[in-house]
């Protein structure tokens, strides 16, 4: 498949998707987001792929939704096109997805990163929800996901002032899982993805589902869900292999079933 706005490569069981509209700081237009969805569909269906990394350039992960494409929309056109809803494809990927963020992750760029399972940030990363500066508010989940990740006070601060926060503040506030030197970003993100890809895929996918459930349900329901899923893991070959390998003091060889 030939793409114009993203670059796609595979490294063993890891897929690396690079947003590639350098002249527009990876502004997320509909063509790019359609290509991203298509690539994710392909990797989701590809049994050889067990983890995905989404990244951008050194200067920008993504500077937001494409303002030039968006500027002339009307309420009716936005509603009828269901503008933004298709972006949620990223958050519905069942395999693990890591965002590797350098430079600007603003507006829709920050929201795209938050749709991934976790964010590894370069020390150059800058996060923000500057939509308020454009006379609007975040529209791809920013007010909701950011608040869950960093809490009300920081989310209000960022969404109401439109200011950017640097990688250190993003790590302190829980938006990113770790900060690495910019020149090591892809190496670190791919290494994390390779580690995950070496583990049992059903266990990984169910872990992702269970952690995500924590955002959508009560504690009691979430724990019940976790317990049911945990019990079901004893039906997998990988559970037998993982525990047998521990007892035999050897590395486990998972077959992803």
Ligand X SMILES: CC(C)=CC(=O)SCCNC(=O)CCNC(=O)[C@H](O)C(C)(C)COP(=O)(O)OP(=O)(O)OC[C@H]1O[C@@H](n2cnc3c(N)ncnc32)[C@H](O)[C@@H]1OP(=O)(O)O
Residues binding ligand X (CB under 6 A): 24-25, 27, 63-68, 84, 104, 106-108, 111, 130-131, 134, 139-140
CB of 54 to ligand X, least distance (A): 16
Q: Is 35 a catalytic residue?
A: no
Angle at the Cα of 167 from the Cα atoms of 188 and 108, rounded to 5 degrees: 90
**CB of 65 or CB of 100, closer to ligand X:** 65
The one catalytic residue in 24, 39, 131, 197 is 131
CB of 31 to ligand X, least distance (A): 13
**CB of 68 or CB of 228, closer to ligand X:** 68
CA distance 63 to 107: 7
The one catalytic residue in 60, 100, 111, 193 is 111
**CB of 84 or CB of 167, closer to ligand X:** 84
**114: closest CA among 124, 123, 106?**
106
CB of 62 to ligand X, least distance (A): 8
Q: Is 111 a catalytic residue?
A: yes
CA distance 4 to 31: 8
The one catalytic residue in 56, 64, 103, 108 is 108
CB of 122 to ligand X, least distance (A): 15
**CB of 111 or CB of 171, closer to ligand X:** 111
Give the number of C-alpha atoms closer than 13 A to the C-alpha of residue 133, restricted to the C-beta side: 12
> CB-based burial of residue 170 (10 Å sphere; 0-12 exposed, 13-18 middle, 19+ buried)?
buried
CA distance 187 to 166: 21
CA distance 99 to 190: 10
CB of 63 to ligand X, least distance (A): 3
**CB of 43 or CB of 87, closer to ligand X:** 87
Q: Is 168 a catalytic residue?
A: no
Per DSSP, which regions of the chain are E strands?
Answer: 6-11, 14-19, 51-55, 60-62, 97-101, 104-106, 118-122, 126-128, 164-166, 178-180
CA distance 188 to 120: 8
Structure tokens at 63: 């500077």
Active site residues: 65, 108, 111, 131
């Amino acid at each position: 498949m030939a793409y114009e706005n993203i670059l796609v490569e595979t490294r063993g069981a890891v897929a690396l998707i690079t947003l590639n509209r350098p002249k527009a700081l990876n502004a997320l237009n509909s063509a790019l987001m359609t290509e991203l969805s298509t690539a994710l569909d392909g990797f989701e269906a590809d049994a050889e792929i067990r983890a995905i990394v989404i990244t951008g350039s050194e200067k920008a992960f993504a500077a937001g939704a494409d303002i030039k494409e968006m500027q002339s929309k009307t309420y009716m056109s936005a509603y009828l096109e269901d503008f933004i809803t298709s972006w949620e494809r990223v958050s519905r990927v069942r395999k693990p997805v890591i965002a590797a963020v350098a430079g600007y992750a603003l507006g829709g760029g920050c929201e795209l990163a938050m749709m991934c399972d976790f964010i590894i940030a370069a020390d150059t990363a800058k996060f923000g929800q500057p939509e308020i500066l454009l006379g609007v508010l975040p529209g791809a989940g920013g007010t909701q996901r950011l608040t869950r990740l960093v809490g009300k006070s920081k989310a209000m601060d960022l969404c109401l002032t439109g200011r950017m926060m640097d990688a250190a503040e993003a790590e302190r506030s829980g938006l990113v899982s770790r900060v690495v030197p910019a020149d090591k970003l892809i190496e670190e993100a791919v290494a994390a993805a390779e580690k995950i890809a070496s583990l049992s895929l059903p266990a990984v996918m169910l872990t992702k589902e269970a952690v995500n459930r924590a955002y959508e349900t009560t504690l009691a329901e979430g724990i019940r869900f976790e317990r049911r899923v945990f019990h079901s893991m004893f039906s997998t070959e990988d559970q037998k292999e993982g525990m047998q390998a521990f007892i035999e003091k050897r590395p486990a060889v998972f077959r992803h079933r």
